[in-house]
Structure formats: C-alpha cells, structure tokens
Amino acid sequence: MAGPAKIKSPSDTLANGVEGIQQLTVSEIKDYTANIITTAFAATKDTASLDVTTGSVPAGYTEVGTFNDTFYTVPVGTHPLNTGDYSTTTYRLSQKTSTATDNKTAVPLRTTDAGTLEESSDTEIDTEILDQVIKAMVDGDSNTAGRYWLSASAPAGGTYVSRGTLTDTQTDGTTVTKTLWQKTAATTVPSSTTNRTLTKYDTDGITEFSTSELQSLTNRMRNRIITSEIGKYVLASSAPGTGTWQQLGETMTDQRKTYSYVNYTGSYTGTYSGTYTGYYSGTYSGAYVGSYPRFFGGFLNGNFSGSYTGFYSGTYTGNYTGSYSGTYTGTYGGATLNATSITITSRRLYVRIA
C-alpha cells in the first residue's frame, strides 16, 4: 500500500543499520511528525489560528462567532427602571483564513503500490501526512499541541497559554471570565529518533527529515485546515449542522439582572385640588338680587332685594380644594431592577473533527 516512507532497522534509526524501507503507519505519523508540526504551529500568536478582540476582525481572519456581554448601567434596586438602560460589549472570535506561503524545505518520499520510492505530490503531502497531523491535533492526541480550549483555568496536561479572554459583567460587580487557551507543548513528547519520514539527501541518496524540515510544513498544514475545514472553530450556542464537531471546554453565558413590576398597598394622606362636577342637594342661604314676577290680581313688575332662605336642588359645577386621606391599592408604575440574574445567551467553543 502506498504512503510516506521511513527506514526499517533494528531500532528504526540509520545509525543502527538499515534493514529496508517501509511505510509509516497512521499512528506513527500522529506520534513524532504531528508533535513537531503542531508545536511549531502553536509557537506564536502570529502562526496560531484564533484571535479574540472587542474591536474589528484582524486582516486575514474571518469571524467565526461572537459573544455579547450585556449589563445594566444602573444599580440593583433602581426604580423606575428604563429596561433599555444596559450596555453591550461584543467579543469577536476569528480564525486565520488567509493563505500562507508554502515554504517547505524538503519533500517527503513515499512508497508506491509497486514497491518503489517517489517524491510525494502536494496533494499526497496533504492527504497522507497533514490530514493525519490535523486529526491528531483536533482530537487532542497527547503527543500534539495547537488545540484550543475555553475555560476559566488552564486544562491539565502539557502547557497552555492565553490567546484572549471573554468576560461577562453584571451591574453589581459580578464578573465571570473564560480564557481561550492554546496548548503550546504536548503532554508527552515522543523520542526524536523514531518514525521520521524520509526525503532525498541528494540525487543519489535518501535521509530522514530534520526537525526544521518538518517545521517547514507548518504553513502548508494551516492551508490544509482552510481547505478541508477539519480544524475549523466556531463560537456558537450549538454545533453547526454540517460535519462532526466537538465542544472544547466550558460554556460561556451572558448573565443579566432581572426586573419586575411590584404591586404596592398603603395609606395616602394629602391635599386634593381640582374641578368638581356633580349633583348638589342641600340648604342654601344667601342674598338674592333679581326680578320677581308675581300674580296678585294684577301685575307688579319690579326689583326685589332681600334675603332668601330655602332648599336648592340641582347641578353644581366649580372648583373644590380640600384634603383627602385614605387607602390606595394598585400598581406603582415602572419596573424595579432585582438582585437575581438570568441567562441571556450561551456560547460554546467547537472544533470540527470530521
């Protein structure tokens, strides 16, 4: 069967003599080759593939998810609350998608089905070597570095460095921070004397890949992640529907204080002033000035001036000012900001593994 080649010797090193050439197995590629390439991939933030920012997405990157931290800008207990009085900080996760220059310094040799040796094509480097390296990395193989993890503290095993943080803030000062960790050193480091792929030494001979020659395949590996999408990350509430995805780390939630409308019952005493219109019935005593016509066997038409005391029944419209004291029961208008919290959104880090 065809594939990348290695030497066959008593301890798989040239120094101990050569028994022949044989094909590297998938597990052997995921051992030494994957360790060297993924460690080089994770060496610096410039060669790493994920970035977190609250500003614009960097050049050469594509946004793969956002997390909105929303929080009220007024203290707990505020009443009446304007429910729009909250601020939002948007964290953007982006992945490097610009094509890197293929700067490999050596070409792997491979065995053919006919039992001969030949140089691998670029496609064969991708499918026979780099796809195995990427798969080992996203699966979290202990010999690899490079994988990301979202959590409050760094995972156990290997070495992890921060590539950025996401923070959830609440108005009472409560904050929760999750760090985007990247593994920069493997949990276990394989022997440097085994399972190296072969390359041409000169026109007449062959030799094993050096460490620097394996590291020169790093850019090609990043380009392969872009084209195959194995190793693509998203920050989302759930995994995408296309492909197989694995959650890496903890769930990040946006927590915000609740608000409620409260019914208040109590006594009210105060001064009431306003216009009263209604039916008035009672005794009226006062001066009457006007014309008084009366039949007395003749007609008398003149003015009568004097006092009139009697009963008046009718409608009265006018202003009334006085004091009101009594009990008021009902809803006191507006919302109150509570001390309890609710989840507004949830985000998880996923990587595509198949």
User: pLDDT for 2-35, tens place per residue?
Assistant: 899 888 765 555 555 556 788 999 999 998 999 9
Q: Are residues 306 and 244 both part of a single domain?
A: no
- 70 and 208 share a domain? yes
Exposed, middle or buried, 333 (CB in 10 Å: 0-12/13-18/19+)? exposed
Looking at residue 296, its pLDDT comes to 44
Buried-state track 113-134, b at ≥16 Cβ within 10 A, e below 16: eeeeeeebeeebbbebbbbbbb
pLDDT band at 295 (very low <50, low <70, confident <90, very high): very low
Decide if 336 is inside a domain.
no
pLDDT top residue among 321 and 333: 333
Instruction: Specify whether 167 is located in the same domain as 288.
Output: no
Which among 117-121, 199-203, 330-334, 346-350 has the top mean pLDDT?
346-350
Residue 282 pLDDT > 60: no
Domain that holds residue 304: 263-331
Query: What share of the chain in percent tops pLDDT 90?
Result: 62
Mean pLDDT to the nearest integer, 229-236 = 97
Residues 292 and 332 sit within 8 Å (Cβ to Cβ): no
pLDDT, residue 206, reads 87
Quote helix, strand, coil % in the chain, to nearest 5: 15, 50, 35
* Confidence class for position 142, pLDDT limits 50, 70, 90: very high
172 plus 242 within the same structural domain:
yes
Q: Could you tell me if residue 337 is inside a domain?
A: no
pLDDT at position 114 is 87
Domain membership of residue 338 (yes or no) is: no
Lowest mean pLDDT among 34-38, 70-74, 202-206, 281-285: 281-285
Statement to judge: residues 238 and 315 lie in one domain? no
**Does residue 296 lie in a domain region?**
yes
106/239 same-domain check: yes
Asked if residue 216 and residue 301 are part of one domain, the reply reads no
| Residues 342/345/346/351 CA torsion (nearest 10 deg) | 180
The three-class DSSP label of residue 235 is strand
pLDDT for the residue numbered 214: 95
Same domain, 230 and 316: no
Q: Which residues contact 54 (CB under 8 A, 6 or more apart)?
A: 89, 90, 91, 92
Count how many residues are written for the chain. Answer: 354
Q: What confidence tier does 252 reach under pLDDT thresholds 50, 70, 90? A: very high
Q: Using CA atoms, how far apart are residues 49 and 60, in angstroms rounded to an integer?
A: 10
pLDDT at 274 (0 to 100):
59
- Same structural domain, 122 and 11: yes
Q: CA 218, 220, 223, 224 torsion: positive or negative?
A: negative
Q: Would residue 303 count as lying in a domain?
A: yes
* 242 and 303 fall within a common domain: no
| Confidence (pLDDT) at 262 | 72
pLDDT classification of 300: cutoffs 50, 70, 90: very low
Report how many domains make up the chain: 2
Q: Taking residues 272-295, report their average pLDDT.
A: 53
Stretch 233-258: mean pLDDT, rounded?
97
**Looking at the domain assignment, is residue 272 inside a domain?**
yes
Note the pLDDT of residue 268. Answer: 52
Contact indicator for 226, 338 with CB cutoff of 8 Å: no
Contact assessment for residue 96 and residue 222, using Cβ atoms and an 8 Å cutoff: yes
Percent of the chain residues past pLDDT 70, beyond the cut: 75
222 and 304 fall within a common domain? no
**Do 234 and 277 sit in the same domain of this protein?**
no
CA dist., res. 302 & res. 319, Å (int): 34
Alpha helices in 1-156 (DSSP H): 26-28, 34-41, 122-124, 131-138
Q: How confident is the model at residue 139 (pLDDT cuts 50, 70, 90)?
A: very high
Does 279 fall in a domain? yes
What mean pLDDT, rounded, does the chain reach?
Answer: 84
Asked whether 261 and 166 are in contact (CB, 8 A), the reply is no
